[in-house]
C-alpha cells in the first residue's frame, strides 16, 4: 500500500506531530514528506497534496485525508491498538482526543510549540492556567483509572497520547510547574524513541 504523510516543520507543527507519532508507534509503513511552512512557497507546495491547503495530510492510495484526528481515525482502522480495546474506554479516549482537538485555545495561542526551545517565559493569564489545570487533571485521572498496564494514559500507547504529545513539548518549553504524576507521564512521552527521533529531526531543521 502506498501511504504518504505530508507534514510541516518538526520544530513548530504540533498538528503534524500527532499523526506522525501515531504512524511510527503503530508500525504502519509510510513515506514522510516535509514541507517547510511560513515561507512564500509554502501554500503552493502544500496545495499539491492537501485540498484544504494545510498540513498534515495523509495520502492513501491517491486519496487525501486531512486533519490530524481524521488521519488518526483512518490509521486506527488498520492499527486498532491506537484506541483502547474496551468499548467504554475507547469512547472515553475519543472524548479526550476530541477535547484536545477543539479546545485549549488559550494555551495554544500563548504557548506555541517549539520543541527546540526551553526556559521560555510568557505571561500566562487565568485562561491559560485553566487549560493547564484541565490537562493535568486529564492526565492524572487517566493514569489512575486506566494506566495499570504501562506508563501511557491508557497503559499502552494510544491515539490520546499522540494528541497530547505537543502539549508535553509546550509544558517543557515554557517550564510549566506540574505534579509528580504528570511529570512521570511527560517523561514517558518525551523519552520515547519515536519522540526523540522527531526532536532530533527538529533540531536538524535549525
Residue 1, pLDDT score: 55
In this predicted structure, the answer to whether residue 177 has a pLDDT above a threshold of 90 is yes
Q: 124 vs 12, 110, 135, 172, 186, CA distance in Å? A: 20, 7, 15, 15, 20
Report pTM: 0.95
pLDDT tens digits along 128-154: 999 999 999 999 999 999 999 999 999
pLDDT tens digits along 25-49: 999 999 999 999 888 888 888 888 8
CB of 184 within 8 A of CB of 190? no
pLDDT tens digits along 107-135: 999 999 999 999 999 999 999 999 999 99
CA distance 175 to 122: 10
CA distance 68 to 11: 17
Measured over all CA atoms, what is the biggest interatomic distance in the chain, rounded to whole angstroms? 48
* Sequence-separated (6 or more) residues with CB below 8 Å from residue 1: 29, 60, 61
Look at 190 and 1; give whichever has higher pLDDT. Answer: 190
Radius of gyration of the chain (CA): 16
Domains delineated in the chain: 3-79 (3.40.30.10), 82-195 (1.20.1050.10)
Residue 51, pLDDT score: 83
CA distance 99 to 93: 10
CA distance 93 to 73: 12
Residue 152, pLDDT score: 98
14-26 and 68-76 helices, crossing angle to 10°: 10
CB of 51 within 8 A of CB of 65? no
CB of 108 within 8 A of CB of 173? no
Q: What proportion of the chain, given as a percentage, has pLDDT over 90?
A: 88
Q: How would you label 42-71 residue by residue, b for 16+ Cβ within 10 Å and e otherwise?
A: beebbeebbeeebbbbbbbeeeebbbbbeb
User: Cell match 503552493: residue?
Assistant: 44
Amino acid at each position: 500500500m502506498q501511504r504518504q504523510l505530508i507534514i510541516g516543520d518538526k520544530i513548530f507543527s504540533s498538528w503534524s506531530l500527532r499523526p506522525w507519532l501515531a504512524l511510527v508507534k503503530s508500525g504502519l509503513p509510510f513515506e514522510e514528506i516535509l514541507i517547510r511552512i511560513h515561507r512564500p512557497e509554502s501554500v503552493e507546495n502544500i496545495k499539491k497534496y492537501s485540498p484544504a491547503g494545510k498540513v498534515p495530510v495523509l495520502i492513501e492510495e491517491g486519496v487525501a485525508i486531512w486533519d490530524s484526528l481524521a488521519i488518526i481515525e483512518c490509521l486506527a482502522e488498520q492499527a486498532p491498538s491506537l484506541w483502547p480495546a474496551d468499548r467504554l474506554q475507547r469512547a472515553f479516549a475519543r472524548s479526550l482526543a476530541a477535547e484536545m482537538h477543539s479546545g485549549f485555545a488559550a494555551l495554544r495561542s500563548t504557548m506555541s510549540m517549539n520543541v527546540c526551545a526551553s526556559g521560555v517565559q510568557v505571561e500566562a493569564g487565568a485562561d491559560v492556567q485553566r487549560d493547564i489545570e484541565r490537562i493535568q487533571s486529564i492526565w492524572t485521572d487517566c493514569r489512575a483509572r486506566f494506566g495499570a498496564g504501562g506508563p501511557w494514559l491508557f497503559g499502552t500507547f494510544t491515539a490520546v497520547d499522540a494528541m497530547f504529545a505537543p502539549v508535553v513539548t509546550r509544558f517543557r518549553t515554557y517550564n510549566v510547574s506540574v505534579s509528580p504524576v504528570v511529570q512521570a507521564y511527560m517523561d514517558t512521552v518525551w523519552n520515547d524513541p519515536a519522540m526523540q527521533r522527531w526532536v532530533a529531526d527538529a533540531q536538524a531543521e535549525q
